[in-house]
Amino acid sequence: MPDHDTAYCKLSGRLLAAMADGSLADDDAFTTLALEVFAFQRRFNAPCAAFCGNADPTHWSEIPAVPTEAFKNERLPLATFPVSARVAAFRTSGTTADTRGTHYFRTLDLYAASIRLGWNALGLPEHRRVALSLPPEKVRESSLVHMFGTLGCDFVSGASIAELRGLSEPIMLMGTALAFVALFEHGDFPLPPGSLAMETGGYKGSCLVLTKPELYARFGTHLGLSPDAILNEYSMTELSSQFYTRGLGRPHSGPPWTRVRILDPATGREVGEGETGVLVLHDLANLGSVAALATRDLAIRRAANTFELLGRDPAATPRGCSLSARDFFPT
């Protein structure tokens, strides 16, 4: 696909430069690139074009958002290129009976840049990073484990969790919420002063339900970490970027190449600040698929481009990266 590859390389190069220099924080600059990405995706992604119909947006917020459920249609993959040319395919974990969604990547340049630049924007200390996970070569379809690898994590699971005891230098310990709960079942692992943790994912497909304060209390009991030493990462297989918050009671925010909308499911209109609706995300790093996604998550609109996550719509299909956490820490 010479026309596709030429257009993709040109547009991805501009995106990479804009992601690095921070210029996409400006709404006009974001809109300009977002409309170019939309035009590219409508040209080369037939399912996206069919969904968007005759839409003629003039602002990023007018770009139609494709439901994340559309990634489950294997007959009509959401990709701007033949999926046989992919370099990676990340799949949602789903449930035993659930159809899994797949996100195909022609290259991983934008994905890697989004992970690293988004992480650097947090301004965190450069601790050794340790992931409660099997390594990427054993979980090739997991976008989360790929993220851990991109961030240069060391990996501990199963019998190797004893390595967490007796550390002398602070670390950043990373994993799904269920992976941490499974770790806590093996006892206490007090971390050195200055350590941090990052948890992601909920309890999708699990009978376990903990409120965030309850979970963070366990971090204190078993790891010796206060809530302000804990980050929560929100993302999904269908995205290339991540949204973070720290501690309790603070909203999630993303990098400048993303935007957030919270829509009233009945009207499709954006709700007011402090009101609840369905979370819609615009992620320009999703160049090879679709950049505007309607999730099945509920959230409260906060300040510009931030949201307070409430969780899955109760009617939505269980999904997520937490389902296989106990495979990493067998009892």
**Are 66 and 55 contacting, i.e. CB atoms less than 8 angstroms apart?**
no
Spatial neighbors of 7 by CB under 8 A, at least 6 apart, are 40, 43, 44
**Are 276 and 310 contacting, i.e. CB atoms less than 8 angstroms apart?**
yes
Domains of the chain: 113-250+316-328 (3.40.50)
Q: Which amino acid is at 99?
A: T
Distance CA 87, CA 147 (A): 15
If one counts every other C-beta atom within 10 angstroms of the C-beta of residue 281, the result is: 27
Per-residue pLDDT, 206: 59
Per-residue pLDDT, 272: 95
Per-residue pLDDT, 325: 45
* Max CA pair span of the chain: 61
Written as tens digits, the pLDDT of the chain (331 aa) is 679 999 999 999 999 999 999 999 999 999 999 999 999 999 999 999 999 999 999 999 999 999 999 999 989 999 999 999 999 999 997 654 568 899 999 999 999 999 999 999 999 999 999 999 999 999 999 999 999 999 999 999 887 899 999 899 999 999 999 999 999 999 999 999 999 999 997 656 555 778 899 999 999 999 999 999 999 999 999 999 999 999 999 999 999 999 999 999 999 999 999 999 999 999 999 999 999 999 999 999 999 899 999 987 655 544 444 444 444 444 3
Per-residue pLDDT, 312: 73
Distance CA 212, CA 227 (A): 10
Distance CA 212, CA 175 (A): 15
How far lies 209's CA from each of 115, 188, 215, in Å? Answer: 28, 21, 9
Distance CA 309, CA 320 (A): 15
Distance CA 217, CA 227 (A): 8
Per-residue pLDDT, 319: 44
Name the phi and psi angles at 252, rounded to 5: -80, 145
Place of tokens 């819609």: 280
Q: Which amino acid is at 182?
A: A
- Collapsed DSSP state (helix, strand, coil) of residue 112: helix
Q: What DSSP designation does 298 have?
A: E
**Are 37 and 288 contacting, i.e. CB atoms less than 8 angstroms apart?**
no
Report how far apart the first and last C-alpha atoms of the chain are (Å, whole number). 50
Per-residue pLDDT, 271: 96
If one counts every other C-beta atom within 10 angstroms of the C-beta of residue 158, the result is: 11
